[in-house]
Amino acid sequence: MPVLSVDEFYEQRVKEGWWKPPTSSGPALQDHAKNPEAIALAEEECLREEEDKEERDDEVELARQRAKDDWKDDHRRGEGNRHNMG
């Protein structure tokens, strides 16, 4: 017969200092399922921020895009580790 439930065991370990208490690093997946409009709004906000960076000619973003273009010039699609391909 078990003496503790899983939740009780977890809480006991947190109190004893074995594990760190849980941190909420953001909304849970269940919250996204309850409010699908929030996902669309977050994606739209992200796109707006990217467009805003392009319009402002953000130097960091421009440098990142140029480095990406240079990398793509040297690394074509499908290249990579071709060792042990049969």
Tens of pLDDT along 29-62?
Answer: 787 788 888 878 888 999 998 888 778 877 888 8
Specify the higher pLDDT residue, 61 or 26.
61
Backbone angles phi, psi at 5, to 5 degrees: -80, 170
Give me the pLDDT at residue 42, please: 85
Give me the pLDDT at residue 16, please: 93
User: Residue range 18-29: average pLDDT?
Assistant: 77
User: Residue range 9-18: average pLDDT?
Assistant: 92
Report how far residue 50's alpha carbon sits from residue 41's, in angstroms, rounded to the nearest whole number.
14
> What percent of the chain shows pLDDT beyond 70?
95
